[in-house]
Amino acid sequence: MNQLEALRQFTTVVADTGDFRQLAQFQPQDATTNPSLVLKTVRQPGYAPLLQETVARFRGQPEDEVIDRLLVRLGCEILALIPGRVSTEVDARLSFDTEATCTRAERIVALYKAAGIAPQRVLIKIAATWEGIRAAERLERRGIHCNLTLLFSFCQAAACAQARARLISPFVGRIYDWHKAKAGAAWDEAAHAGAQDPGVQSVARIYQYFKRHGIATEVMGASFRNTGQILALAGCDLLTISPDLLARLAAREAAGDAMVSRALDPEIAHSFDLPLVQYDEPAFRFALNQDAMATEKLAEGIRAFVADAEKLQALMRAV
């Protein structure tokens, strides 16, 4: 048994890619995409026809609609290869607009329905801003399930749970990046590996809190930098993993020092002293403001996704 097979005993494995031709070899349950992954995919020569066909078919329509149609086309290709769900992201430029986020999400789901895809197979990805969380709350009530992304702090996770979001994606690797950069030359890699990794610790706390209080929102660790981070979260509800890290897990035998064991256990989580918290808007904004890492990484993540969305638009205009 390799490490990927062993990991599947405890956790649902999700592929973090827009390159659907890579999916078959890893057999993930679900798949996630984001603006950066979509841009990376359609820039590849092998995917040029998908971009060209979509633009040609809907030329003259508003650019935002053509982009959504491209995202849905890519999502449909992915869903043809996996048994579960695909996450499709709302334009990051709407991260602070609840109404516009809901409208865009509803259009994406309608496009999937028109392509014969049931809403249960789609997760709408939304940045975990206060406005994004409120949009998810409304959408969930309408039967549209959401994946709250760019999540770096406990307060974001707790607010998503209050909103009854279907799933959250706390970012392990970007938390790790921030702490490593802040420590500079003083950073001790060995001392911050595995369960001591700050990104791993953040996800573990969220997982324990959710299980302690019977919260139904699924926790999906994301944004990994190495396989050690992944294995330290074995037992998390889901883990979304890039193809290169999936390949590394599949290439290593799960034996000896490379054995895979459950790191997160819902039964053990019930023993943790983690009081239930409730956030209104002022409390949420204050808690997020007090977390320098989360504040910086959330803003940085939105800016990066906006930049890639603009690059995708430019690419479409050039077709």
Q: Which residues are catalytic?
A: 125
Nearest CA-CA partner of 154 in 207, 197, 232:
207
- Alpha carbon distance 170, 199 (integer Å): 9
Amino acid making up residue 28: P
- Alpha carbon distance 230, 193 (integer Å): 11
- Tally the residues of the chain: 319
Number of H helices, E strands in the chain: 14, 8
What does the block give as tokens for 84? 């579960």
Beta-carbon contacts of 124 under 8 Å, excluding residues fewer than 6 positions away, are: 87, 88, 89, 90, 105, 108, 109, 136, 139, 144, 145, 146, 147
Q: In the block, which residue shows the tokens 């660790």?
A: 221
b or e along 99-127 (b: 16 or more beta carbons within 10 Å of the residue's beta carbon)?
A: ebbbebbebbbebbeeeebeeebbbbbbb
Nearest CA-CA partner of 110 in 148, 139, 147, 80:
139
